[in-house]
Structure formats: structure tokens, C-alpha cells
Structure 1
Amino acid sequence: MLILLPPSEGKAASGDGPGLDLSALTLPELAPAREEVMAALADLCSGPEEEALRVLGLSASQSEALKRDLDAATAPTLRAADLYTGVLYDRLGLPGLLDSPAAARVRERVLVFSGLWGVVGPEDRLPPYRLSMGVRLPPLGGLGPYWRRALKGPLEALSEGRLLVDCRSSAYAAAFRPSGSAAGRTVAVRVLRERVVGGRVRRSVVSHMAKATRGDIARALLAEGVAAATPEELAAALADLGYTVELQPGPRPGAARTLDVLSAD
């Protein structure tokens, strides 16, 4: 099983470890692509500040992020588990899991997608940075399509025969779309809120709650040692853990499935 996660917009501001070593990151064969994105980002951030902020989708009050991006190659690093913060990661609690009996499962089963690095593992050492997957980075263009080309081969090999539990947002899902037999082993986790309105049950997606619930689910799968091999086994395991879930049929045989996690008001 592989759990696919987005990064977080919020990140730790500093590290205290050695400088970046691209050869030590998960999927080191991505080093040339990572170097290309780093160079393009440094080029952007060393130019006019207003243009860099516009391209990166940042406000003037976030200009300190430009310096972090410029310093990424030499800044002190910290584990990805400690770098990413925010609702999903607060609920997931990667640092605690890495200090628990679940540590080996966390290292083996968690992949975090990134606009700068493509994908990383929880113990990869990274500098603080800011680069969203939705950015169109000159001269590379959209980072989603860029990383989709670079990640296709390495991730297809890494995911061979494994269930993919997809907890990513749409921007990061664009960087890797499982195809072929991998699509049939992919389950996208969708969180829906149920409430009664005018005597009728209605369902809706709530972003903040979805992040928290995905973090809870990822933590439960890792802490409890769930080893589901099929979408049906995943749904049954989460039901056993107390979640109300519905596994939706795919649009066609062999397509990725959606697992609805229901939360009532």
C-alpha cells in the first residue's frame, strides 16, 4: 500500500540539519528534474520581486518566501515529517509515528507530492521552501504537467502491485494519474458531510474537514498496520476502524475508485 499525500501550504520556517543532498531523496533518479525546477525557481526569485510574487501566487506580506526559495540549495534542512504543517499533518502526526512501532510502515508507505521536489518521503531532509504545484514556472510551464512526465516511470515502478490510497488535492493529483493496472488499484479518498436540510439528507464537501479526516485516516492506516491490497479491503478495514464509508463504482472496469468517508453533523 502507498498513501499519496499533498504537501501543506504552511511549513516550518527553518531547519538545523545539513544542506540539501538530492541524491539522498526518495527516487534519486528525479535529481535532474529537481535541479531544473530549482534553477528555474531561483531565476524567478532573483528577478523583480513583484513578478516573482505574482507567478508564485503570493502576497507582498509573504515576500520572505522568495529568500527561502533562493536559499534552498544551501539552507539547513529538516525532515519532511517536520517541515509540513497544517490541518492534515497535525492530525497525521508523522514525527510521532516515526518514533513509534509504525516507523517502518511510515517510511515504506507514505509519499508526499511537491511542486519543487516531485515526491518526497517522510524522512527526506528538505529546506523550507514555497512552490505550489499549480504554479506555471517560467520557462518550464505548469508544474503539474512537468512532474507528470518526470514521475510517470519512477512512480509506476514503485507502485507496482500496491494499492494506492490517494489523499491528494486536485492540483497535486495532476502530477501523477495512475493508468493501466495501477488505476484499478487506486482509491481516491473523498470526505463528505451529511446533514438534514428540510427533512432531506444532503451531502457536501467541506475542505477544512476533509483535510483533517484524511489526516486521521492516514494515521489510522499506518498506526494500525492495515495492509489492504484492494479497494474493497480498504473500505472494510476503515469500517472496522469506525469510519462510515461507501466505495463507489468506477466509471468503467479497471478505473480508479472513489471512497466516500461520511461525517454527520
Structure 2
Amino acid sequence: MRILLSPSETKSVGGSGAPLDLAALSLPALTDTRRTVAGALVAMCVDDPDGARATLGLGDSLAAEVTYDAHLWSSPTAPALSRYTGVLYDALDQSSFTRATRSRAESRLWIGSALFGLLAAGDPIPHYRLSAGTRLPGLGTLRSVWKPSLTAATSEWADDLVIDLRSGGYQQLGPVPGAVTVDVVTQYPDGTRKVVSHFSKHHKGLLARSLATSRAEMTDIPALLRVARRAGHTLEHDSATTLTMVTLP
């Protein structure tokens, strides 16, 4: 089973790993596209820092993010699962993993990225700033850059159960055919439901934690539902590729 997560705008700083080595990342078929996107990002930030701030949508308080991008090739790295922070990753709470649960999580978790396409949880990456909707000079939309290579790279997952918890923008960078998506809704006492927006990340993080750390092998939806329900989640199987996670207000 593979669980795909969205990245986060906020990231930890520093790290103890060697500088970025694209050849060391998972899904080596993405190396050329990663090099193209990374090269365009670094060049923009080195050659035109003010323009880079505007392109990346950064205010004065986040001006340092341009510097991080400019030093992408020389900055220390950290495992992707430790690099990303924010609501989803707080709920995932990877710092509390035992050695055994971390091993299971790292074998199942993947993280979408505007810079790297898709990352395995343990892939070493530096601090960076780049969002799915950014248009880098000379490249056009990141969707047009990533979609062909991501589609090809994930074609080998055709026989795997893939749970795609990425947000819409990151799903569009590289849809995975046959992947199961999860909608999060709140059900009120009168039975009405409302799609969860902001707290969707929190609930997806909790679900990802339960699935990623379980000792059970999940090769199909019924097995996944059993694990999720034992962990206290309410999931409904809407179609072959859609689940609904029901939460309370």
C-alpha cells in the first residue's frame, strides 16, 4: 500500500544530511524533471531575488525563503517526513513513532512536491519553497512539466493499493490512475453534512498515521476499512476509487 500526502508550505530548517543528491531520491525516473525544475528555481532566486519573491508569493516576513532556494544545492538535508511541518504533519506526529512504526510508515508514505514530484518519506531533501501553482520562468505551469513524467513513473504502481490524500493542486501535478481518494465531511446532529476545508488536513493526517503504522497488510479496500475502523475512523466506501471520512463537529 502507498499513501500519498500533500507537502506543506512550512518546513523545518537545517538538517544533518549531505547536500541534495537527486540521484539518491526514490523514483529515479523523475531525476531529469527534478533537475529541470530545481535548476529553474535556483536560477530565478540567484539572478532576480526580488522577482523571485513576487513569483513565489512571499511577503517581507518570508524573504529568507528566496535565500534558501538560492542555496538549494548546498544546504543540508533531512528526511522528507521530518522536513515538512504544519497541520497534517502535526496530526501524523512522526516524532512519536517507534522504530517499528517508523519503518512501516517510511515504506508506505509518499509526499507530493512541486519541486521533486513525489518523494518517499525517507528521501533526504533541503529546506525549499515552491508551490504547485507557481509558474517558473521558462517552464510554464508545473502541471505541464510534471504530469508526463509523474504519470510514467507511477505506472509501475498499477497493482498496488494507492490512497491519494493529496490536495487537488498536487493531485493535478500527476494523477495516479486507480488511486483511491478520500473526501472529509462533518456530520451534524440533524444528519446534514458539510465538506471539511481547513481541518481536512488534520483528519487526513490522523488517517494516514493509522494506516501507515498498522501492522496489518492492506492490499484492498475492505482490509483498509477494517484497519481504519479499528482505529476509530468512520469511513464510507462510496465507489471503487472514492472514500468519505465522516467526522463530528
- TM-score normalised by length of structure 1: 0.88
Matched, 1:174 2:172: yes
Q: Give the C-alpha shift of residue 213 in structure 1.
A: 1.0
Tell me whether 1:41 sits opposite 2:41 in the alignment: yes
- Please tell me whether residue 260 in structure 1 is matched to residue 247 in structure 2: no
**CA separation in 1, counterparts of 2:139 and 2:243?**
34
**Structure 2: unaligned runs, 5 residues or longer:** none
1:55 equivalent in structure 2: 55
1:207 aligns with 2:197: yes
1:114-163: CA deviation from partner (whole Å, max 9, x where unpaired): 11111111111111000011111121111123111111111111x13111
Task: Note the 1:83-232 alignment, pairs <5 A.
Answer: 83-97=83-97, 99-157=98-156, 159-179=157-177, 183=178, 186-196=179-189, 200-232=190-222
* Percent of matched pairs sharing the same residue: 34
Offset at 1:107?
2.5
CA contact (8 A) 2:211 2:224 kept: no
Higher relative contact order (CA 8 A, sep 6+): 2
For residues 242-261 of structure 1, what are the structure 2 equivalents within 5 Å? 242-249=232-239, 257-261=241-245
> Any idea what SS the aligned residue of 2:188 has?
strand
Counting only pairs closer than 5 Å after superposition, residues 9-88 of structure 1 correspond to structure 2 as: 9-88=9-88
CA–CA distance in structure 1, aligned partners of residues 174 and 223 of structure 2? 23
Describe the SS at the equivalent of 1:208: coil
Give the stretch that moved more between structures: 233-242 or 122-131. 233-242
CA distance in 2, matches of 1:214, 1:151: 23
State the Cα distance separating 1:227 from its structure 2 match: 2.4
Give the number of equivalent residue pairs: 249
> Could you say what the CA RMSD is over the residues aligned between the two structures, in angstroms?
1.7
Report the alpha carbon displacement of residue 208 of structure 1 after superposing the two structures with TM. Answer: 2.9
Using the TM superposition, give the Cα deviation of residue 95 of structure 1 relative to its aligned residue in structure 2, in angstroms: 4.2
Structure 1 alignment gaps of length 5 or more: 251-256
Distance 1:160 1:21 in 2: 28
Shift of 1:261: 0.8
Once residues 87 and 137 of structure 2 are traced to their aligned partners in structure 1, the CA distance between those partners, rounded to angstroms, is: 31
Contact 1:19 1:75 in 2 (8 A): yes
Change (3 A) 1:178 1:78: closer
